[in-house]
């Protein structure tokens, strides 16, 4: 009990019963997502052995999500959010079950995986902005940083645990990862059914006008423009390297077990970074920490690529952990800055546009997959890392990110309209 009390003091959002139930439900569905991503990549590489096919998988999981995210954000602001989450979870569970059947009976082909991945991506384009606009209604405003960190920990814990488990499952029967993915989303539906909360839409305007309003809001606030630029650049040019992780595992001579282990180590690094930033109080250094952490993550990824070229598994694994830790620190603070400053009536659309971030990771994998064909995966990642460093330099020299510190701190601790307006100027 003392440990639980200490944990809630460190992460106040855990003291909110509705958020706690939502977090537990999300743990099941996000775990299913990790198994799904792991399985899709390995099935395709097992069939074709092509990094290009892995890159196409990245495009299939990202392009539909990007296209749907604008509409999904508008839907999240227009309709009841819990019901939307139940629908998207049901669609994803059904598609996971279909892929399970195809692999189980050895009917699966590369194009099957691409098609199902694209269909799930359409559902994700609605699911992601809905989640981001739903959970702030479950907490007090002062709990925002801890809630954002805990949401990130969801992904990082499953990134650490599920690939290790999934690697074993893949060695036994590849189809089972998709069965467990379907079960995870089914549990999410069950948990949502038991949540007594109604979060209605905030607008009845047309979808086109809603999207236009969201884009105009972002364009009018320079801090949003630069935060999103940094977020997009990080996923497109840096974090996209995970798309080629099967190729890195093969290059390092570690096969299925090493593939899962590298992803798990990345998850461990992310957990450490997220746990630290979510449990501390930053008074006037949000912007600076965002930029420094982003820079450190890019440098660590270059180190990973060099270690892979040298065929040094544990050195490569160390740099994977460092990259993940610094990336998590940067992304948690960036997300907190966005959530703390966006008005409730625009939250679905603005956070929907931010959700494009996660779709850019596999899309960057398409570029990496093509680039890796002539020069191999490690050199391709080094090239994209330098592109990310250019983005960081551009944002640092031109953006007002370092100026958000004081206003953001007040906005996280007060229900103050004045501080929100100051942050958005």
Q: Residue 338: what pLDDT?
A: 81
Burial (Cβ within 10 Å: 0-12, 13-18, ≥19) of residue 199 = buried
What 3 state SS string does 14-58 have?
Answer: HHCHHHHHHHHHHHHHHHHHHHHHHHHHHHHHHHHCCHHHHHHHH
Contact by Cβ (8 Å): 347, 335 = no
- d(CA 177, CA 385) in angstroms, rounded, equals 31
**Which class does domain 12-194+207-424 fall in?**
mainly alpha
Residues 6+ apart with CB under 8 A from 269: 320, 321, 322, 323, 324, 325, 328
How high does pLDDT run on average in the chain? 81
Angle at 128 between CA 34 and CA 319, to 5 degrees: 45
Contact by Cβ (8 Å): 131, 15 = no
**Cα dihedral sign, 51-53-58-59:** positive
> The tokens of 405 are what?
């510190």
- d(CA 266, CA 334) in angstroms, rounded, equals 20
Q: Which residues of the chain have pLDDT under 70?
A: 1-10, 199-207, 255-257, 278-285, 362, 399-425
pTM of the full predicted structure?
Answer: 0.72
- d(CA 283, CA 405) in angstroms, rounded, equals 7
- d(CA 206, CA 195) in angstroms, rounded, equals 29
- d(CA 345, CA 409) in angstroms, rounded, equals 22
Residues 6+ apart with CB under 8 A from 132: 76, 339, 347, 348, 351, 352, 354, 355
Phi, psi for 297 (deg, rounded to 5): -65, -40
Q: Residue 425: what pLDDT?
A: 42
Residue 317: CB atoms within 10 A of its CB come to: 22
Domain chopping of the chain, boundaries: 12-194+207-424
> The tokens of 384 are what?
């994209």
- d(CA 192, CA 141) in angstroms, rounded, equals 22
Contact by Cβ (8 Å): 34, 166 = yes
Alpha helices, DSSP H only, in 135-279? 144-172, 176-193, 207-219, 222-237, 245-251, 255-278
- d(CA 52, CA 48) in angstroms, rounded, equals 10
DSSP state of 386: H
Q: Residue 16: what pLDDT?
A: 81
């Amino acid at each position: 009990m003392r440990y639980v009390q200490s944990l809630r003091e460190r992460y106040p959002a855990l003291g909110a019963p509705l958020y706690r139930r939502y977090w537990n439900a999300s743990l099941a569905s996000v775990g299913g997502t990790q198994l799904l991503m792991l399985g899709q990549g390995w099935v395709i590489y097992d069939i074709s052995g092509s990094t290009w096919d892995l890159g196409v998988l990245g495009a299939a999981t990202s392009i539909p999500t990007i296209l749907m995210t604008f509409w999904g954000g508008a839907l999240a602001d227009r309709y009841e959010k819990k019901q939307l989450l139940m629908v998207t979870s049901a669609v994803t569970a059904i598609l996971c079950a279909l892929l399970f059947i195809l692999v189980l009976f050895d009917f699966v082909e590369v194009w099957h995986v691409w098609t199902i991945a694209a269909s799930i991506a359409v559902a994700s384009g609605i699911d992601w902005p809905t989640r981001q606009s739903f959970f702030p209604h479950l907490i007090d405003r002062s709990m925002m940083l801890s809630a954002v960190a805990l949401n990130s920990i969801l992904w990082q814990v499953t990134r650490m645990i599920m690939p290790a488990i999934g690697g074993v499952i893949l060695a036994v029967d590849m189809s089972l990862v998709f069965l467990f993915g379907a079960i995870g989303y089914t549990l999410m539906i069950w948990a949502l059914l038991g949540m007594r909360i109604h979060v209605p839409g905030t607008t009845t305007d047309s979808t086109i006008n809603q999207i236009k309003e969201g884009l105009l809001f972002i364009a009018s606030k320079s801090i949003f423009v630069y935060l999103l630029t940094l977020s997009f650049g990080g996923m497109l040019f840096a974090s996209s390297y995970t798309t080629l992780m099967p190729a890195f595992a093969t290059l390092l001579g570690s096969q299925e077990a090493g593939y899962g282990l590298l992803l798990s180590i990345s998850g461990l690094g992310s957990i450490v970074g997220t746990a630290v930033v979510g449990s501390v109080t930053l008074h006037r250094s949000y912007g600076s920490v965002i930029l420094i952490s982003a820079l450190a993550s890019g440098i660590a990824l270059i180190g990973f690529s060099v270690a892979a070229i040298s065929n040094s598994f544990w050195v490569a694994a160390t740099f994977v952990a460092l990259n993940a830790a610094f990336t998590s620190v940067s992304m948690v603070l960036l997300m907190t800055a966005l959530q703390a400053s966006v008005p409730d009536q625009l939250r679905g659309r603005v956070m929907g546009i931010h959700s494009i971030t996660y779709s850019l990771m596999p899309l960057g994998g398409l570029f990496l997959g093509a680039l890796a064909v002539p020069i191999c995966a490690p050199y391709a990642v080094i090239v994209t890392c330098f592109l990310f460093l250019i983005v960081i330099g551009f944002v640092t020299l031109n953006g007002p990110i370092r100026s958000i510190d004081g206003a953001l701190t007040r906005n996280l601790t007060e229900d103050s309209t004045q501080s929100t307006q100051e942050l958005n100027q």
